[in-house]
Structure 1
């Protein structure tokens, strides 16, 4: 199947890493379905960004933790473009607090979106992605960096990594790769919002490359795993500029 006939669903595709991944896959020739939670205007801007580079895209609202909404997302992709070849699970939330202070309702929201959401999307993907496809989940280097305040978020992403490694083995015989990308600090609204500049500067200075990651850095890895990286399977790729684990 040529790249020009391949179809990608990107959850969380209206912002941050998801939006950059959608744009990159569009430039690579994929038809892109941009899944978004609630901000329709932002999702439509992401669609226009793909189309401006000559690609094809639509935006579809879906709560990633709702199995019926996710099934409808896949239905729409199949109706518009004929099938699904690549899934990028970029939807996520990141409320921060020390473990002792985190409201358990907030904890439940994190687990629902980040962990259950990945499970629900991967469940549909395992049933409906065409042979020769790829599933790319988004984890986080915080599963190794163990930064205070991130216990709930890192726990949810640890679960994402477990799902990734096991699903890769469960899809034996389908020629579908399943991998996770685990970014370090990346200059997205999810990371930057609510942080003082002094803290951002301190975190940016930690890796040997002495900067924050950019969404384009992560999108490049996603595009590699989605397309040419057919011999990488069941792996977690830590993309953090060399930050110490």
Structure 2
């Protein structure tokens, strides 16, 4: 399983969950690395952050699904909604991904989703919410008592240089905000990008996102550059080229 996430802490959480359940992992920290490793290692599944740097996760999914050698790969998109109370529905488009999990529900839903996709079946949302608890049989108790082989160790995640951590965190938050706006309003966003009206159409959402950004990102970091505006401008520019 390939784990592609720009936050080393989240990447380690995912690789640990997978390794504890017997899956081997390969990791990537940005979209280009995810593309290269997918083509090289051919994992059966990728757990991929929506807001990856360099190439957004949903774009990586779309590109790999369009290549003959990787069209059979499965994809789980991982998002981190900047307003968890606002988005109570699935994104409008998953860009051919097979499932979508919000970051704060990884421990609850990830392994269920991976196992379902490994078996060739799409994850069932209603089965994710609650699982039936059965009284263990004597055979089950005995089986659990047996010594199990150690799971493969999680792949090491190389942390970003300390000097860049705060700036990368600012950019990561901005990517989270723009990818949320896009995935939950895909058709409307595509039309506004074609008409050069994205900023006016989504003025309210961008104000909300900027308020959150300014609350979470220190003035010291914001003085080093307008990373919020930079991320939005680059996203719109790349969508126009697509």
- TM class by shorter chain equals 0.3 to 0.5
What is the TM-score with the length of structure 2 in the denominator?
0.40
Which structure's residues are more often strand, by fraction?
1
Larger Rg: 2
Which structure's residues are more often helix, by fraction?
2
What is the TM-score with the length of structure 1 in the denominator?
0.39
